[in-house]
Each structure stands twice: as structure tokens, then as C-alpha cells.
Structure 1
Amino acid sequence: MKPTRLPKKMKQIIVYHRPEAKQIPGISQQVLAFYQEAFDHMPHIARDWLERGLASPRLYLFLLLDEKQVVLAAATFQLLADEGELLHFAVSPQRRRQGLGALLLTQALVHLEEQGLARCFLEVRAHNIPAQALYESQRFKCIDQRKNYYQDNHEDAKVYLWERSTSDNNIGN
């Protein structure tokens, strides 16, 4: 994927899919530090898991960077055949409610659809209404709820599904 042209204060969207081995430690360090800052409840993301994932053909990492190469938003997807899962998604706390999450998610889905994605699942905390609204704006539909899903506080998770449109390829509308 070519870097996407973005407004002045944002540099580009970077897609990592099987980066060079020498890049992986730096990428994983940058992403884990960002997720640590961005998540209210930090999901368990082991550095070795992320590094193995980055080397595999199934993991896609999307980063939205500003002009100083600071991460503003990140999304980690796993893709197997035509089915994907959004594993982690976050926007910098200082940059929320500015459309950055929608921008990154839209571009990620377009890119993954070009790779053959037909449907994508995700789980989101039941109390995270802003994230649910974002996902719904991108054509994700709530299909289930998992009781006591999160280990840190036993909060429920809502399960969402995105499916490729059969009538058009206009993601986000």
C-alpha cells in the first residue's frame, strides 16, 4: 500500500506485513509503547507474540503517523484466507474524536479487502461506546455478546462483524 496523502499535521499510514527481520524489534517496541499509552485497560500483548506475528503472513499492522513519525493510531489485524480479526485498535488519547480512528480503520479495511478480506470480526468492551460508534460507522454490526470476557475486570465484550459489501466497494458508507 502506498502512503496515503493526509492533512498537513499527519504524515502517512504505514502498513507492515512481513517486514524485514531487522525492522521487527524496533516496530514491536514502538507499537507496544503506543498501545501501553493508548489503552485504558492494556491488553496482554507479549513482545515475542508481536514479533512472531510481524514475521508471519497473517498479521497486518497499520500505523497512522504524524510529521514527526509519532504514532497517532494503530490497528493490528490477523487475516486467514478471506476472514480477518481486528486484534488491537487504538488512537492516541490526546488525538481522539478527531476522525483519526475512522481514517485509519477505513484505509485498513480497503487495503485488506484488496488482499481478499470478505469478513472481519472484533471484540470491544461493552462500556466502550465511542469505539462501538466508530465500528458501526464502518459497517460493523454487533452480532453477539460474551459475558465476563475480559480477565482484568470480567467485563462483557460485544462481538462485531464487518462483511464486504456485495453491492459496492464503498467502505465507510
Structure 2
Amino acid sequence: MDSAIQAHFARSFRARLYMRVANSTVPLRLSRSSDKFSWGVTPEDDWLQAGGRQDSPLMDFHYLSATDDRLHYHITVPGRPQTKTLGVSRNGYLGFYWHAEVTDPWKIEPLRQTDEGLVCHLRDHRGYRVGAIKDTPHHSGDWVALLNVEEGDVYNFLLRQEG
């Protein structure tokens, strides 16, 4: 791993994560139970998705370790009303949990550092890359995609540190 990337990212920090689609940066968002009006069940809050009009949520990246080509973190969202940890559901969807215990780390695979931040792949503890599945229809009219480690189109992400 590049020594500049390791020096800048092999530590704990606060950041925003974005999905890269073509040459544009798409913010991530946390789902709300009011997002879907046609499901037979009410979806829960805080599934991690891409799309929408607001900036990506602020996340804490808690550094654990590194290998030659990966940085390992626990990823949390502060507050809401208490800290929630990013995990994977039984069917591969990414979501923030505060009832279930999340112990598996997330892996950041650096691809290149830019003026905007670190372009990378986001991988689960097994090494599966995060993919996107378009959420159609989304009541907002915005392009929204569900994030999943077992299916969907794989995209790069942009990790932008705050402060």
C-alpha cells in the first residue's frame, strides 16, 4: 500500500463516503421507514443506500488494522439516538444496527488518492465488494440504490475525511 495513503488513512477518523458513478459523486443516505409506500411490510430506518439530494451522513471510521492492500475499520454513525454500527443483513444489505451486535470489520481497498479524497472499493469482512441495486420506484423521484455485498453492480467509492 502506498505510504502516503497509509499515513493518511491507517488511523481512526470522521468522514463521508460517496459512491462513484461514471465521473460523478453520488451521496449515500440512510433509509427512512417512509421511503416505500408499496411494500407489504414497513421497511426499517438506517439501511445504507446511494442517491438522494442531501450530503452523505458523517461516519466514524474506527481503525483496526491493515494488510498490504486493505485497511480494516468498524464504521459507525454517531448519535441517532445512540451510536449505530454498519453491518450486513442475512441477505447482504448494508445497514446501521444498534440492537444487533456487529463485530465484523469493513475493508477499504485503496485504488488512488485524489484531491477529493480516497477512491476505493468498500468490502465486507469476507472481501465481497459492495454493489448497488436500483430501488425502483422510490417515492422521492430521485435515483436511489440499495447497497448489497451479494448482488448488484459494483462501484468505486470516495472516502472524504472531515476536518
Q: TM-score band, normalised by the shorter chain?
A: 0.3 to 0.5
TM-score by length of 2: 0.33
TM-score (norm 1): 0.31
Higher relative contact order (CA 8 A, sep 6+): 2
Q: Which has the higher helix share?
A: 1
